[in-house]
Amino acid sequence: MSSNKPTRSLTKMRNTDWSDFVAVGEITAPHGIQGAFRVYPTTDFPKRLLRRKTVWVGSLSGPQKVIMAQSHPPLVILKLEQISTREEAETLRGEILYVPKKSLPPLGSQEYYWFQLQGLRVQDHGTQEIIGTIDKIIRTGANHDVFEVIRPGKPGLLIPALKSVVLEVRLEEGIMVVQLPEGLDDPE
């Protein structure tokens, strides 16, 4: 008699402080029958996932050893040592993959990791007024990402992540200065 339950007990992690980690992907589905799974990268550098020796999974305890990584654009296929069946991989659907912030390579001038931009206040270059706060960064698959900005008392605003729009980022002040394209914030 076959069961859909995992064949081995996975140690689950609860109430973890992820402040020293950064999310690099989301597990979307199992891949095959041997415990591999598909990951949607949430990073501008998805190929780095192919070189990772360990990752942290939101619900699993401690670092997980990566024993296989393949590019399958736009996804990455990963296999962890501890996960050996499709059923075990299925229990991870929707989980977030993390890596320690200290393991991230330094970026060039005027380059930022997403986690550094989330939560920044967005300031209009012309009026100097705060428009809102960056809630999410959306990967569009086009030539640029989009910042989802939440605004008190107004609908959210989607701002393209273009050099012509984002004029300055002041991380130490928690500010992103933007020049909104004409018509982007026009009232309906």
Q: What CATH number does residue 98 fall under?
A: 2.40.30.60
What's the rounded Cα separation, in Å, for the pair 74 and 123?
Answer: 33
Same domain (yes/no): 74, 124: no
pLDDT at 15: 52
Same domain (yes/no): 86, 130: no
Residue 7 in domain: no
Same domain (yes/no): 49, 78: yes
Tens of pLDDT, residue by residue over 95-153, are: 999 999 999 888 888 888 888 999 999 999 999 999 999 999 987 777 788 999 999 99
pLDDT at 188: 56
- Residue corresponding to tokens 């029958």: 33
Percent of the chain with pLDDT strictly greater than 70: 89
Same domain (yes/no): 31, 65: yes
Helix H or strand E encompassing 23: strand 21-31
Q: What mean pLDDT is reported for the chain? A: 88
Residue 9 has pLDDT above 60, yes or no: no
Same domain (yes/no): 119, 165: yes
Residue 11 has pLDDT above 90, yes or no: no
Residue 185 in domain: no
Same domain (yes/no): 135, 61: no
Same domain (yes/no): 38, 85: yes
Domain final residue, candidates 59, 83, 103 = 103
Q: What CATH number does residue 172 fall under?
A: 2.30.30.240
Residue 16 in domain: no
Beta bridge partners of 123: 130, 177
Residue ranges making up the domain that contains 120? 114-178
What's the rounded Cα separation, in Å, for the pair 48 and 76?
Answer: 10
Domain count of the fold of the chain? 2
Q: What is the pTM of this model?
A: 0.70
Written as six digits, the tokens of 109 are: 């001038």
Nearest to 23 by CA among 53, 50, 1, 44: 44
